[in-house]
A and B are shown apart, each in its own frame.
Chain A
């Protein structure tokens, strides 16, 4: 299929706007053909994953763009890199890789990208508006932007993300188009106890289950309380994009394109209705862990990067249950939150409690944890999914309170009633829920 180009697209392709824009446009046109897109469309922002080091060729690619005069033409933010540039001493890899990884991060900054180095750009300066066309990379950011903000992006990744930012264009296909955003699978929460619906720990587990079962279809969730918080949706999306390829979900009465059932399914019927029971969630819970409850070596929080609201929950718990000296307690977050922690005086408290704060990167994309083998406990579905493969640590999954109290003991503590059926009954969003509203 031939891709229809505007005069400006053609000028870029002909090299009139420089060698970098030409190469970027050539790659985009090839990819538009691969996707079967008839044309390109304008984007309002980009989020770049290519600043994470995977090998020397990625650095050569960035160097070539820079040499060709690459500059981004839309507001563009950067995802995590391999090195915490504010605390480079945390990097445990070899020195040459560390240098290349830092040069890669700086190369993207030189192209005009904002050095926020976070996987949660949507909780930073960059907050795309409803319906805006964007080209975002990073699976959890993609699913959040599409689902929670109602912005429109396909699943972009290394290379094509920066090509979109340099040209301001993306193939007009897939989730950029309203008709492709219709919900397809209905996940109906059947017997989830009321207390659990308000627990943060439900959301990564539910997300993990949905990711495993949805393939590339668009899931719709029925039965979440209207008070579901942004951080809960963030955890749900990140887990769904780890166990599967979910780029967009709808939650009826919660997310902006699913005010009603009819909206979520675009006046059509779901292709399949999938009941989700407490028993199903308990099965998923077992899949999130790879080690039996026992001794732990590391507690890791903050994938996606921890928000200020999440720190607000963490602080009083840490005060009561400070980490055991033998446990490495790591929280990854973004620079803007890190700065706010100093302003609130919390950074000092965290430091004296022995908590290691990591910015610009996270524990599963780069060697940052002190040990190479052992057991890591987390409340993040994404950390749980990637830790065994990426950094060779066994994983135990738990709620925030379970993680903090286990960190204090050095072995796993369980909140016994958490996954028990108690107060059965689906949430209907009654006035009694309003205390957990944000």
Chain B
């Protein structure tokens, strides 16, 4: 098992099975908060469910309304357990920060270096501990 230090955007502890998206995803128009399904039909992971997963993606994309979709997913219990990014994404971080205020629970959002990012694969068990320490 490896342990690395991530850069924390929104802190928290969580664990889940990895869902690695090869491409950026806009949650607005890309995620159905009712079901947790990726509904951007041009996205390679279209049809997959993010709920409870350690969602690994390069970055978000598009509209700032993505933060509203993440908040709605947290409210409905369909959000990922954690979000691990290759680049800082303020819109996803905002959604998680507001979710923490509103519903006391929010997926932690962290950024990792490229060499770490490349080690993640689907189904891998990932845990985010205190202060952004990731174990996988």
Contacts and interface: CB of A to CB of B under 8 A. Distances in A.
Interface string B100-114: 011000000000000
Contact of A54 (B10, B68, B97, B101): B68
Interface stretch (B14-22, B44-52, B70-78, B123-131): B70-78
Contact of B102 (A30, A33, A57, A155): A57
A137 B68 contact: no
Contact of A160 (B10, B33, B88, B94): B94
A26 B88 CA distance: 19
Q: What 10 A-B pairs come out closest when comparing CB atoms?
A: A157-B64, A55-B72, A54-B68, A57-B75, A30-B97, A34-B93, A57-B71, A57-B72, A159-B98, A34-B9
Contacts of B69: 54-55
B65 interface: yes
A417 to B, nearest CB: 36
14 contacts: A30-B97, A31-B93, A34-B93, A34-B97, A49-B64, A54-B65, A54-B68, A57-B102, A58-B72, A155-B64, A157-B64, A157-B67, A158-B64, A159-B98
Contacts of B98: 27, 61, 159
Most A C-beta atoms less than 10 A away, residue of B29, B33, B63: B63
A157 B91 contact: yes
Interface string A148-163: 0000000111111000
Contact of A34 (B65, B71, B75, B90): B90
A160 B91 CA distance: 10
Interface string B26-64: 000100010000000000000000000000000000011
Given A27-B98, A35-B90, 7 more contacts: A26-B101, A27-B101, A30-B10, A54-B72, A57-B72, A57-B74, A389-B29
A116 B42 CA distance: 37
A64 interface: yes
A49 B67 CA distance: 12
A357 interface: no
Nearest to A30: B97
Contacts of A158: 64-65, 67-68, 94
A275 B69 CA distance: 38
A412 interface: no
Contact of A56 (B29, B75, B94): B75
A23 interface: yes
Interface in A59-86: 60-61, 64
A61 B71 contact: yes
Contacts of B67: 157-159
Q: Is chain A's interface secondary structure helix, strand, loop, or mixed overall? A: helix
A160 B92 CA distance: 12
Chain B contact residues (Cβ within 8 angstroms of A): what range? 20 to 34
A210 B63 CA distance: 17
A31 B94 contact: yes
Interface residues of A, number: 26
A34 B64 contact: no
Nearest to A137: B64
A159 B94 contact: yes
Interface of B: 9-10, 29, 33, 63-65, 67-69, 71-72, 74-75, 88, 90-91, 93-95, 97-98, 101-102
B93 A30 contact: yes
Interface string A384-395: 000001000000
Contacts of A64: 101-102
A431 to B, nearest CB: 44
Contacts of B93: 30-31, 34
A163 B136 CA distance: 36
A55 B75 CA distance: 10
Most A C-beta atoms less than 10 A away, residue of B69, B71, B93: B71
A56 B72 contact: yes
A61 B95 CA distance: 12
A166 B74 CA distance: 24
Contacts of A27: 94, 97-98, 101
Contact of A58 (B10, B68, B74): B68
Interface in A369-427: 389
A12 B93 CA distance: 22
A27 B69 CA distance: 17
Nearest to A54: B68
A146 B19 CA distance: 38
Contact of A61 (B63, B65, B102): B102
Contact of B68 (A23, A55, A139): A55
Most B C-beta atoms less than 10 A away, residue of A56, A61, A156: A61
Nearest to B9: A34
Contacts of B29: 389
A61 B10 CA distance: 18
Contacts of B88: 34
Contacts of A56: 72, 75
Interface in A299-357: none
B32 to A, nearest CB: 11
Most B C-beta atoms less than 10 A away, residue of A23, A57, A389: A57
B8 to A, nearest CB: 8
